[in-house]
Structure 1
Amino acid sequence: MPPAADYPLRTGRAEPLGRRDILWLGALLLIALLPRAFVACQLGPICDDGYFYLAVSEAYERGDLDTALWYLNINIYPVLIAGFDRLGADPLVAAQAWGVAVATLTILPLFGWLRRLLDRRVALAACGLYAIHPEFIEISPEPIRDATFWLLAATSLYLLWRAAAERKAWLFVGAGLALAAAAHTRSEGWLLMLPATAWPLVRWRESRRDRWRLSLGTAATFAMTPLFVLLFNVTVLRDHDRWELGKLEHFRLAARWIVGSDVVAPPAISGSATIPPAFVGLSMISTASAATSNVADRSHEMPEEPLKRCTGASSYLRSAVHALEPVPLILMLIGAVGWPHLLLRREHLVLSAICIAVLTGVWVRQVTLGEINGRYFLACFFPASGAAGLGALWVLSRLERGWKTFGRQRGAAIAAATTAVLIGTVHVVEAVAAEHPSREREAAIGRHLGEQLGPDRSFLVLPHACRVGYYAGGQLPVVALDDTPLETLLERYQSDTVILENSYTPASQCEALAEHLKLCGWRTYDLGDVPDSEGFVVLTRAESIADASRLRATRRHRR
């Protein structure tokens, strides 16, 4: 049966779910959970950003708030990981389990919102696409903030729609809290202010009786964001020496781009790296060192030779298609072309505005900062999921009709369902079969270092060397997250091994760091016999090298 021709705006509570709907929802949750759990169990080395969030959570744990707030400022995700640690759970394992759980549960608010916006069949189709989407499956188990944001964004859309339709105070307050949490998880969450404004306005124009209730409810929704910031300051940041307002760099970047002024790159997490090369520079070197004084003032510049500058439309389109996947993109296009009148309605137009804002923001980031990450595009899926669901139902109805044309009346629905299952299986296999050779290579380098240098080592690493340090020491190393001088970090944590990298960090800066350490009595550890180790430089204290040599000699003697 094809999707309906029109979906009128409805007011009041939605019809309760039937038994069949509950069974379908349970099946979708299971379909979403199984591949995500499988990927989590098979996942080896985590992504670079995962080590960054673990390091930030450790900074919260030890009360180093300046370091914790350096890039993210007010953000709930590292605080959440720190909470897992305080409960006695392994932060990495707990963060991965949390990611799988919240990514699976995202189906519930997404379904609840779409069945009210359109209908239950469109909602089921859209949730099915989310459940089998390779990119969502692959990212879910990573210990990064994205899965948490998906749940908060879907919950915000669900509560915002219900609040405008049902005019209940608790829905407005809940929507405001979800919106505030989403905005302080990923910056795309601020775009939820658009439906928070537009949907009550649509209802306000059509309902004279409830205008005061809508106005007060909308005010309550917006009041939750400053209240959230206040509560974060008086609880999590109660020992901080100043008040924080949140991360505002993206607003400044957008404003500079709009007025056409030169963009000063803010600290940013690049597409495949944890901390940008713009930060990882000589700001960590004491200006007392004459060896590096000639470049000390360039610590906040963009790197001389960035690893990857993505400024063309082709790289933008490739990243978008790879992230959103061709099949969902085609279905979104079918839904948009087949139901253009929905796109022009006021309650749907705001969803198109969110997608346009996300796409524009990614483009601005690419042309100004020269970096792009496919994960940025995933925020478009949720406002466009209704169109994707419509497209999926249309395709299935056409398959069913085509099967009937050949006289196969009984098997028409089965054939359409089988086609959907096959496409879904291909998507799931694509996700679970994903490989990460560069991660495995760095993990192997770390294991080799651990074997050669011996146990009980204390590692200090640049952000892009986190994975090597993690596998060398068997635990998260000390990560240079902010512009604290290198000597201060070495003295504070008594590290005896430093790992630098010269793939993301400009080679000149890496060499300057190494030379500075050598002047302070450190020695370079030779990685010549380690395969594919050209991008890393390891330095140890002189006495540590002697201790490691004696340890290896003892091991050979015992053998």
Structure 2
Amino acid sequence: VQLLQSGDYTEGLEYLNLNIYPAILLALRQLAGQWWIVAAGTWSLAMSVLAVLPLYGLIRQQLGRQAAILAGLLYALHPRLVLHSPLVMRDPTFWFLFLLALYLSWQAAVRPSMLRLAAAGLTILLAVHTRIEGVLLLVPLGIWNWRLVWPSPVWRKRLLLGTAAVLVLAASGTVLMNLTFLRSHERWEAVGLRHAEDLWQRAFAPLVFGQGAAGVARPAVHAASVEQIDFGLAFAPDSKTNRRLVVRFVKTFTYLYGVLVLAGIWRLRGQWSRIDILPYYIVAAVAFVGVWLKYNIAPIDQRYFFPILFVSFAGLSLGVVQWADWIGRAASKLIADRAIARRASLAVVLAAVVLSGLIDGLRVGRPTLAAWREQAELGRWIRQQFGPGRTITSNSEENRLVLYYAEGRMSWIADQYVASAAAAAAADRHTLPDVVVLWPQKHRPDAAAVAENILRVHRELGYRHLPNHRLPERCRCLTVLVQERLWEGEDGNRSQDAPLRPSAVAGRTPEFSNAGSRR
């Protein structure tokens, strides 16, 4: 937001490209002034709460009122959604747009009108411009309209016209943005441009040219020899990657929700090809394959699994009903009144959902909050020691708070690999990050060997390992490397071009620099 407001589009658009969320934050900053962070958190909370409305409407039309109420409760009680709801991030806005697009797509299919079709297309367009996973919404829109509307010759022409209109609107909007607001920007921006570039550099360029984008031969991603070092955000999965991905997905989905969705699928046995449910299976499968592909080339967080969760609420609500039926049959042997037995069994299932959510929330929420405090403390320490504007890289993508409190910028390595000492010697020192933060990776069996290799290559690149006792007490489990020119040894002597600490210059605060790598 600061970069875009200052007119630095090169840095400000480097990560998200054309995205509506920075525009929302800019508007909130203009309206709320110094309270814009609070306003942004309130916006996220409002979006996450309002998202239950299209979810309720969608499930009610497809499966009935009881299933819709259960779907809303399951959405509201999911601990991972609760954890992310009030955060200043684009995801709650995406949740609302994703579920609203599903509802409007179903409405456009069962009650055809050009207005509903246009509303669905526009909402999908906004969702794509919030998170790229919004393209998954084209699956239900296409399947529902193909099966329910396409057979009509009149509506067939209208569908084609509507599709063409949305494509023209998207293209013209992109062109208009680049010719007006971004006319001083050095290149044209488009939605998903970063993902396309990453896909080319990491997947297709090595296949076409036999080397990475930086011109350095890229090592096999599954190898873990001492000559292959992951640098910064690089990730080298081993043979257990697929198993770890499944475990991470199940933990994000939560174990109880997994049991419920399996029961819901069982309840729909023989009806898996229902037109209202079929797109959900396809979206879940495509989304999981996409996450698997990304997980094999870069670290991910649990938010990538949320679209799968959203298309699972139909099955989840039916799973609650199915488990209530199973328990009710068993309880009917003890309770003569079947209606009372069924209501009691439903209450038992919902109580299990609430209890599971509380346990999972405590298990995940406390360490997550502790990690956020750790990041904030480290960011403040980096700013105090080295001044603002430093480029920072890490072996974890979850370092936004470090960058925020350090007033720093994210640094990315071109191919994200330093393959050997020769490649390290050939690296351009001016493009390397000022600070490298290595978080413990206990889930990796080769973590110790990888860490030692990282330290070796970084020594060759001119980095120094800060002694742990110099770090904030909460952060002494981390490995922090700084460039030689910023180094201050135990005797307190700095390199010649190292900046003074902010506290060392009375009445002077180091200026925030916009030069450097990605934020």
TM tier, smaller: 0.7 to 0.9
Distance 1:508 1:373, change over 3 A: same
Q: Match for residue 528 of structure 1?
A: 469
C-alpha distance in 1 between matches for 2:169 and 2:478:
50
Q: Does 1:233 align with 2:166?
A: no
Distance 1:372 1:500, change over 3 A: closer
After superposition, where does 1:189-200 map in structure 2 within 5 Å?
A: 189-200=134-145
Q: Deviations over 1:325-360 (max 9, x none)?
A: 122222222222221343213443222211111111
Q: Deviations over 1:270-308 (max 9, x none)?
A: xxxxxxxx99xxxxxxxxxxxxxxxx9769998713675
C-alpha distance in 2 between matches for 1:547 and 1:380:
47
- Counterpart contact for 1:172–1:220, Cα < 8 Å: no
C-alpha distance in 2 between matches for 1:507 and 1:130:
44
The correspondence for 2:344, drawn from 415, 432, 436, is 415
Once structures 1 and 2 are overlaid, which stretch shifts more, 540-549 or 150-159? 540-549
Distance 1:261 1:529, change over 3 A: closer
- Counterpart contact for 2:413–2:432, Cα < 8 Å: no
- Counterpart contact for 1:328–1:388, Cα < 8 Å: yes
- Counterpart contact for 1:500–1:510, Cα < 8 Å: no
What TM-score, normalized by structure 2, do the two folds share? 0.72
Match of 1:96, as an amino acid?
G
C-alpha distance in 2 between matches for 1:188 and 1:81:
21
Structure 2 residue runs without a partner (length 5+): 222-227, 415-427, 441-450, 488-493, 507-519
Q: Match for residue 495 of structure 1?
A: none
- Counterpart contact for 2:403–2:409, Cα < 8 Å: no
- Counterpart contact for 2:261–2:316, Cα < 8 Å: yes
Match of 1:310, as an amino acid?
P
C-alpha distance in 2 between matches for 1:235 and 1:330:
51
Q: Match for residue 333 of structure 2?
A: 405
Q: Match for residue 407 of structure 2?
A: 477
The 3-state SS of whatever aligns with 2:21 is helix
Distance 1:90 1:231, change over 3 A: farther
Q: Match for residue 229 of structure 2?
A: 304
Distance 1:341 1:250, change over 3 A: farther
What TM-score, normalized by structure 1, do the two folds share? 0.68
**CA shift at 1:249, angstroms?**
5.5
- Counterpart contact for 1:445–1:468, Cα < 8 Å: yes
Once structures 1 and 2 are overlaid, which stretch shifts more, 322-331 or 525-534? 525-534
Q: Match for residue 161 of structure 1?
A: 106
Once structures 1 and 2 are overlaid, which stretch shifts more, 196-205 or 154-163? 196-205
Q: Does 1:353 align with 2:353?
A: no
After superposition, where does 1:89-488 map in structure 2 within 5 Å?
A: 89-208=34-153, 210-234=155-179, 236-248=181-193, 250=195, 262=207, 304-305=229-230, 309-311=236-238, 312-367=241-296, 369-409=297-337, 411-430=340-359, 432-433=361-362, 434-435=365-366, 436=368, 437-446=370-379, 458-464=388-394, 467-468=401-402, 470=404, 475=405, 477-481=407-411
Q: Match for residue 501 of structure 1?
A: 437
The 3-state SS of whatever aligns with 1:342 is coil
**CA shift at 1:102, angstroms?**
1.0
- Counterpart contact for 2:28–2:39, Cα < 8 Å: yes
The 3-state SS of whatever aligns with 1:501 is strand
Once structures 1 and 2 are overlaid, which stretch shifts more, 257-266 or 97-106? 257-266
The 3-state SS of whatever aligns with 1:345 is coil
The 3-state SS of whatever aligns with 1:167 is coil
- Counterpart contact for 1:172–1:221, Cα < 8 Å: no
C-alpha distance in 2 between matches for 1:448 and 1:341:
60
- Counterpart contact for 2:55–2:68, Cα < 8 Å: yes
C-alpha distance in 2 between matches for 1:449 and 1:258:
34
Structure 1 residue runs without a partner (length 5+): 1-56, 267-277, 280-295, 491-497, 519-523, 552-559
After superposition, where does 1:9-48 map in structure 2 within 5 Å?
A: none
C-alpha distance in 1 between matches for 2:98 and 2:312:
13
Match of 1:416, as an amino acid?
S
**CA shift at 1:550, angstroms?**
8.8
Match of 2:317, as an amino acid?
G
Distance 1:427 1:229, change over 3 A: farther
**CA shift at 1:534, angstroms?**
4.8
The 3-state SS of whatever aligns with 2:311 is helix
The 3-state SS of whatever aligns with 2:374 is helix
C-alpha distance in 2 between matches for 1:265 and 1:443:
41
Q: Does 1:60 align with 2:1?
A: no
Q: Match for residue 27 of structure 1?
A: none
C-alpha distance in 1 between matches for 2:198 and 2:380:
41
**CA shift at 1:60, angstroms?**
1.3
The 3-state SS of whatever aligns with 1:262 is helix
Q: Does 1:69 align with 2:69?
A: no
Match of 1:402, as an amino acid?
A
Match of 2:230, as an amino acid?
E
The 3-state SS of whatever aligns with 2:271 is helix
C-alpha distance in 1 between matches for 2:210 and 2:479:
25
Distance 1:74 1:444, change over 3 A: closer
C-alpha distance in 1 between matches for 2:120 and 2:379:
45
Q: Deviations over 1:454-513 (max 9, x none)?
A: 9xx53524144764565xxxx5503145689997999xxxxxxx6443559944665567
C-alpha distance in 1 between matches for 2:85 and 2:144:
30
**CA shift at 1:86, angstroms?**
2.6
The 3-state SS of whatever aligns with 2:469 is coil
After superposition, where does 1:510-529 map in structure 2 within 5 Å?
A: 510-511=458-459, 528-529=469-470
C-alpha distance in 2 between matches for 1:70 and 1:265:
26
- Counterpart contact for 1:99–1:147, Cα < 8 Å: yes
Match of 1:179, as an amino acid?
I
What is the aligned residue count?
446
Identity %: 25
- Counterpart contact for 2:17–2:194, Cα < 8 Å: no
